[in-house]
Chains A and B, each alone.
With several copies, the nearest count.
Chain A
Amino acid sequence: MRLLYFAWVREKAGKGQEEVAPPAEVADVAGLIAWLRSRGGGPADALADLRLVRVAVNQEYVALDHPVGGSDEVAFFPPVTGG
């Protein structure tokens, strides 16, 4: 599974991307975030307050109950500010 971080989430995570292999019980976005928090470090800090974070799976916005697994691309980022 490929994780991407953008903007201040990237800065807090300390990296722009990483490959991870979460345990089999991680089945959705909420489970993935819980696992990343338990792992500690920059990504755990970046995902501390979910009100500030948006999630996309395979480049589409999703809610916390969206399934994840296999070779999914999961991105975490702040509310967007383009335009």
Chain B
Amino acid sequence: MIRVQQQDFDVAAELAALPAAGGICVFVGTVRDVSDGRPVAAMTLEHYPGMAERELARLEEEAQGRWPLAGVAIVHRYGRLQPGERIVLVAVAAPHRAAAFEACRFLIDRLKTEAPFWKSEETAGGARWVAARREDAAAAERWDS
């Protein structure tokens, strides 16, 4: 289940919609209040409508092919968000917890380098586009097979 939306999501409702399978691993990413040592007043997420959903669906399909999963939910927000607000949820239900953990981490790692979203942060120094992080590229490459 893939959703790209402006409004917030309800973590409990997203988990309740997944098939019961023994275990669920969830990652929730939130807006940080500090970036490179500077307080962040707000963050705006731009996205490529259409391609964002396609990339997330492609990643879900790849995860389903790599691990025996019972269900996947990915919700990604766009628009202007305050520090502490939820940005993204990745939830994976699986009969075995190793698969749930690995697929969940695969999905967030690859989402960060492949799904077309861009963050702009507002700090005292003005708005600036967040640069892609070398660590994120390295984390995504771990999954290359």
A81 contacts B111, C-beta separation under 8 Å: no
B48 contacts A82, C-beta separation under 8 Å: no
The yes or no answer to B96 lying at the interface (CB within 8 A) is no
The yes or no answer to A4 lying at the interface (CB within 8 A) is yes
Indicate which residue in A10, A61, A82 contacts B119 across the interface (CB closer than 8 Å): A82
CB proximity of B34 to chain A, nearest CB, Å: 17
- A59 — which chain B residues lie within 8 A by C-beta? 48, 50-51, 54
Indicate which residue in B48, B76, B88, B113 contacts A4 across the interface (CB closer than 8 Å): B48
Q: Size of chain B's interface in residues, with CB distance under 8 A?
A: 28
- A7 — which chain B residues lie within 8 A by C-beta? 46, 118, 120, 129
As a 0/1 sequence over residues 53 to 80 of chain A, the CB contacts with chain B under 8 angstroms (1 = contact) are 0001001110000000000000101111
The yes or no answer to B8 lying at the interface (CB within 8 A) is no
Which chain B residues have a beta carbon within 8 Å of chain A's beta carbons? Answer: 29, 45-48, 50-51, 54, 76, 87-88, 108, 111-120, 129-133, 136
Q: 22 A-B contacts, Cβ less than 8 Å apart?
A: A4-B48, A10-B46, A59-B50, A60-B54, A75-B116, A77-B48, A77-B116, A78-B118, A78-B132, A79-B131, A79-B132, A80-B117, A81-B119, A82-B45, A82-B47, A82-B117, A82-B118, A82-B119, A83-B87, A83-B111, A83-B112, A83-B136
